[in-house]
Structure 1
């Protein structure tokens, strides 16, 4: 119980303690157990503290088998006297987010009766899951405003260790998960909650709370938010981003949505124009290939080797040929770096079995592929040149 009282109710950056022992876990990681500690172990949705013990970095803190384990990068030289230093910036940021969660959760309950069923404090944002899937922007705005009112009132935040019977005297926000060693975190006349996390002494230290986003999840809704210093970081990022966009688009920040919409519409038009030009180029290319086609046993033969063309584009080009000319066989190869890919296509009046052709040439490139009698494709390693592969195809079909 000494450790719990110490890390939860004492907020200080440095402390001294006696090491009880240090040992390795099953994975070979060293950890130290102390007589007392201000390091917070992972739990209740809040991440662990980091810092140092006798100058060695503390990488993880967790509670296991009734003890608090401080994982260090390497074994300590001695544990008789330990000096611990908390990474206070990380701790205070976690305190801001955790207390912000209490305030936000209580606001949802107070205004709309929506309860929180889970809390997660991430590296950049925090989330709560609430018992509704009918949130609106108006609801979120009212809840956010109420939460910030409580923060600005700078109400005291109290902690109390109570018995189960004593806890029942308070208007608790949710049912207790433990029956002994009960710790209450209290914002008078606003929120009473059983909690083992770390908190500042006043709501004003949370500074500000901002809801960022929300998404439905079956019968619940996940709400994403930030508090305190994270709001400043977020604002700095947004300001830097909008300033750069404003410069690039040559419009004031307030006109960015309109300018962006116009740009997107222009891009759609340009995209359609480009697609149309590509279709025209493919058709022009198809006409040239038809004009240069050879003839074998009364059927036209079109063969060509390309560089860095997608197999999808070659399939489209081949279809242009077979849709325009009867009794035509098309064999396309593209050299794409260390790969060779090929498309074999004919119209329904031609006679070459394209599936058989592909089966014959796949071993030459250690490749994979498939298809049917009229259309087949594949690809493999460029262990031979495109010219050599095309020569093998011609030999097989008898050209």
Structure 2
């Protein structure tokens, strides 16, 4: 069946009749993008302007009598609308489509057809699949790599076709029709029933497709190819934006450019040079800081050993790291009880526990549990991550108690 949304993709309101309404449960995407089981009803209509997913295009959103349609799926020749309210069979209802979402999908889908046709016709880059993403879409090309000059030329040619106001025409035919012999297709779904749609970009290509499309390439506004990258199994993914997404992307890029200009204190044409210089300086500072931190670790260990007042060395250094703690532990050895921590002393960080024979085995698990530690013990040393360094003082109490028993046994 060809739905009204496929007959006229620009139709935003429509009246239809309920033919079935059954209680059910379905997984629906929430605001966080998670699929959540939701109670509702599967509603079938005698026709619909709400597109069910298919052809690589996601389903529409809209309302039935102002009740939000949370999901639309296709089952054979039927479109199944998932809603949160029951409707009576035979009831006449008014449908409304979320036009912003619909037109965005129309632009991306028609852009995909156009890019695919130009890429294949000029360079033999055949499309094996595509993905209409929420922000960026991509086409999977059946080639291991592409030539950048060719990609630039494809972008130039698709935008030239947009400027030429090329019409996009939909033909409805049937399985076995001679029209299908000359169109591009990957075949019909196994559960296909009824008529077949052919989407023709005049003078460029004709393709079997169930999706919604613009009626003229000028409605795409423009297409921007963002680039390509290696895909799976010797294929290449070509990333693109069309229509309103190009304007949105340009706006975000300009906002970022303004922020960079403010922080880097130079004109946009100098941004790359300024960032490159800053990265080199940062690497030098990091190298110097690492060297200083190593020196501090050696000094801390030396200071402790020379004092010889206490056999327990507990130290926290916010800017320290695993190497810092290991240097101290290696310098002091197993002659003392060590509890070293780095990072946020009121939250997440890292720890190292070391000491004479039996210390880690006796206290390690208790301290790990207390500070929310995750790590491994090797010999007389244990180290890893800690989620609750604010409980460091209680951990030191456990060490003091062990040391008291240790001293009495010595």
- TM-score by structure 1 length? 0.86
SS of 2:336 mapped into structure 1: strand
Contact 1:334 1:386 in 2 (8 A): no
Alignment of 1:112-151 (within 5 A): 112-151=123-162
Comparing 65-74 with 166-175, greater Cα deviation is found at 166-175
1:238 to 253, 265, 268: 253
1:261 to 276, 301, 304: 276
2:5 to 4, 7, 13: 7
Contact 1:370 1:376 in 2 (8 A): yes
CA distance in 1, matches of 2:16, 2:385: 67
2:213 to 193, 199, 211: 199
Contact 1:54 1:76 in 2 (8 A): no
What runs of 5+ residues in structure 2 fail to find an aligned partner? 27-38
C-alpha distance 121-316 of structure 1, shift in aligned 2 (>3 A): same
Question: C-alpha deviations, 1:7-38, integer Å up to 9, x for none?
Answer: 20113111111111222224532132111111
Higher Cα radius of gyration: 1
SS of 1:29 mapped into structure 2: strand
Contact 1:362 1:369 in 2 (8 A): no
Report whether the alignment pairs 1:93 with 2:109. no
What runs of 5+ residues in structure 1 fail to find an aligned partner? 295-300, 323-327, 346-351
C-alpha distance 384-79 of structure 1, shift in aligned 2 (>3 A): farther
Q: Identify the residue that residue 86 of structure 2 maps to in structure 1.
A: 75
C-alpha distance 387-239 of structure 1, shift in aligned 2 (>3 A): closer
- TM-align CA RMSD: 2.8
What's the CA shift for 1:109? 0.5
Comparing 175-184 with 60-69, greater Cα deviation is found at 175-184
CA distance in 2, matches of 1:128, 1:338: 45
Comparing 5-14 with 18-27, greater Cα deviation is found at 18-27
CA distance in 2, matches of 1:46, 1:378: 46
- TM-score by structure 2 length? 0.83
CA distance in 1, matches of 2:14, 2:223: 31
Contact 1:14 1:83 in 2 (8 A): yes
CA distance in 2, matches of 1:176, 1:387: 70
Q: Identify the residue that residue 213 of structure 1 maps to in structure 2.
A: 227
C-alpha distance 199-366 of structure 1, shift in aligned 2 (>3 A): closer
Comparing 69-78 with 188-197, greater Cα deviation is found at 69-78
Comparing 194-203 with 366-375, greater Cα deviation is found at 366-375
Contact 2:364 2:382 in 1 (8 A): no
SS of 1:155 mapped into structure 2: coil
Alignment of 1:246-257 (within 5 A): 246-257=261-272
Aligned residues: 378
Comparing 202-211 with 386-395, greater Cα deviation is found at 386-395
CA distance in 1, matches of 2:332, 2:306: 11
What's the CA shift for 1:119? 1.4
What's the CA shift for 1:370? 5.6
Comparing 207-216 with 372-381, greater Cα deviation is found at 372-381
Q: Identify the residue that residue 36 of structure 2 maps to in structure 1.
A: none
CA distance in 2, matches of 1:379, 1:170: 64
CA distance in 2, matches of 1:311, 1:247: 33
Contact 1:170 1:192 in 2 (8 A): no
Contact 2:360 2:381 in 1 (8 A): no
Q: Identify the residue that residue 184 of structure 1 maps to in structure 2.
A: 198
Contact 2:20 2:89 in 1 (8 A): no
C-alpha distance 38-386 of structure 1, shift in aligned 2 (>3 A): closer
Q: Identify the residue that residue 314 of structure 2 maps to in structure 1.
A: 305
1:343 to 353, 365, 370: 353
CA distance in 2, matches of 1:376, 1:240: 48
Contact 2:20 2:43 in 1 (8 A): yes
What's the CA shift for 1:341? 4.9
Contact 1:311 1:342 in 2 (8 A): no
Alignment of 1:317-396 (within 5 A): 317-322=328-333, 329-334=335-340, 336-337=345-346, 341-345=351-355, 352-353=356-357, 356-362=358-364, 364-365=366-367, 367=369, 371-373=377-379, 375-377=381-383, 382=391, 385-396=394-405
